Amino acid sequence: MSPRSFFKSLFFVAVGASLVLAILHFFAPPAAEHWRFSIGSVLLFSLVCTGLFYAGTSTAQSKNKFAFTNLVSVSVFGKMVVAMAALFVYQQVAIPTNQWFVGIFLMCYVVFTAFEVWFMTKLAKT
C-alpha cells in the first residue's frame, strides 16, 4: 500500500467519522457539549493510524519474520492504553456533565480500528 493511497483512505475515514459525529451532535444536544473532544478523538486516532502505517511499512519489509506480528501485538495494547488515558484525562480535566463522550470515543475507536485492520492486512500481504 502506497503512502498516497493510505492518506487518501485515511482522509475519507476521518471525514466520514467527523460527519457521523456532526450528525450526532446535531440530533443529540447533550453530545454537542463534547465537540472539542470529538475533534480531538478523530485527530488522535488519525495520528495513531499514521504512525502505525509507517511502522507497519518498515516491519513488513523487515527480514525478521516476527517483526510485523510483534508490531500488531504491541499496537493493540498501546492503543488501548492511549484510549484509556485519553478518556481519563478528558474526564478529569473537562469534568463533563454527561457520559456521551464515552460513546463518541468508542465510535471513533471502532471506526479507526476497522480501518487499521484493513490497511494492516494490506501491508501484511507485501
**pTM for the predicted model, two decimal places:** 0.90
Tens digits of residue pLDDT in 19-64: 999 999 999 999 999 999 999 999 999 999 999 999 999 998 888 8
Distance CA 97, CA 18 (A): 22
Q: Is the pLDDT of residue 126 over 80?
A: no
Residues 6+ apart with CB under 8 A from 70: 59
pLDDT tens figures, 84-122: 999 999 999 999 999 999 999 999 999 999 999 999 999
